[in-house]
Amino acid sequence: MGQVVRLQELGNDMVQVTMEDRAARNTFSEDLIKGIVAAFAHIKNTPSYKVVILTGYENYFCCGGTKEELFRIYKGEISFNDLGFFRLPLECEVPVISAMQGHGIGGGFIFGLYADFTILGRENIYTTNFMKYGFTPGMGGTLMAPLRLGATLGNEMLFSAENYRGGELKERGVPLKVVPKAEVLKEAIGLAKQLAEKPRLSLATLKAHLTAGIKAKLPAIIEEELKMHAITFHQPEVAERIEALFGN
């Protein structure tokens, strides 16, 4: 799993995946991606696990693409879909809980929304900030943000690319649990314990049913997002914005 992603068994067939790339502040570094892939591979090969908790460290849950990755996409060397790890919480056989104890930024926030349950911290920042860089959203965000947050708020976040505190999202009626950031992991463990009381086969069967619609829609959504990227990502202004925003 590497040093930046830790897997910890919590007992009662629960497992916690902690992302802690301090050097990259939990952006999509090569080490973080490799660690996430390895963690979910281990979970897939461990049939005793019933519930997964996905969390970050201190003020960071997950913070999206690195400057280098965004420039590589700008140059046409890779696409957002090449970072295919973001689907792992959805593809995991058993329920996944995103315990967003810290900020969820851009693709990092979308990554967390692929979990079956998401718990937000009241004080933290959550944003789908793709358009702030001048390009349209990716990673299936145009499906997952409206689906998880509600169509009106999800679309607003995608268009505006503004920062929203968890408390503000709660006031706006987001259908996710929002608690003080210090209580996020505790809430996640409490929920995991409730789920772990059920038979694994039943949990996996229900998840397969409830996620079937998302899995069916996602390939076409990502294809359309990549078409939009072909139009929007290679504008000179995008390179200028990447440089300026990462410089701040």
Active site positions, annotated: 229
- Name the region of 199 (left: φ>0; alpha: ψ -120 to 50; beta: rest): beta
Planar angle of CA 104, 52, 120, nearest 5 degrees: 30
**CA count, 13 A, side-chain hemisphere, 94:** 26
Return the axis-axis angle of helices 67-74 and 236-247, rounded to nearest 10°: 170
DSSP SS3 for 115: coil
For strands 96-100 and 51-55, give the pairing. Answer: parallel
- Extract the tokens encoding 219: 């390939």
Are 56 and 102 spatial neighbours (Cβ–Cβ below 8 Å)?
yes
- Strands in the chain per DSSP E: 5-11, 14-19, 51-55, 60-62, 96-100, 103-105, 117-121, 125-127, 164-165, 177-179
The CA distance from 5 to 189, in Å, is: 18
For strands 117-121 and 125-127, give the pairing. Answer: unpaired
Are 67 and 133 spatial neighbours (Cβ–Cβ below 8 Å)?
no
